[in-house]
Amino acid sequence: MSERLQPGDTAPAFTLPDADGKPVSLADHLGRKVIVYFYPAALTPGCTKQACDFTDNLELLAGAGYDVIGISPDKPEKLGAFREKEGLRVTLLSDPEKETLAAYGAFGEKSLYGKTVVGVIRSTVIVDEQGKVERALHNVKATGHVAKLIKDLSL
């Protein structure tokens, strides 16, 4: 497992395919703040709740200067089905090799129902306009996370 990112660190660069297979890079968002959130699997209850919460608050977040990107190990086809089924408007990216997940400290050992397993650690990293980490939150809850984030960001 990689080291956890700290405020002030340069956010690891990435270029990953979106739900339509088109490449999206963190560099595409320079000049805007970016909320990059990592989730285990599309079309599961917790991940659906979290993605819907981000979609429901997208106008508020965008109005405050934030873009939202969700990253999971799912293939673009599954992300497309997720987006269509749930009416999602956040950018969903595919990281099946888990390289970006690992670079952001969002993949590794975690506790699941009392057992230690290796997998996606639900995390959110806020990247500032210059590509630096503003906040890095790990082991976040799917439910209520977006509301807490909005409150913590004073939006």
Name the DSSP letter for residue 145. Answer: H
Phi-psi region of 4 (alpha: psi -120 to 50; beta: other; left: phi over 0): beta
Phi, psi (5° rounding) for residue 82?
-60, -50
Residue 43 CA: distances (Å) to CA of 10, 20, 77, 83: 31, 17, 12, 9
| Beta-bridge partner residues of 127 | 34, 133
Strands across the sheet with 123-127, in order? 91-94, 66-72, 33-38, 123-127, 133-138
3-state SS track over 13-48: CCEEEECCCCEEEHHHHCCCEEEEEECCCCCCHHHH
Catalytic residue positions, numbered: 47
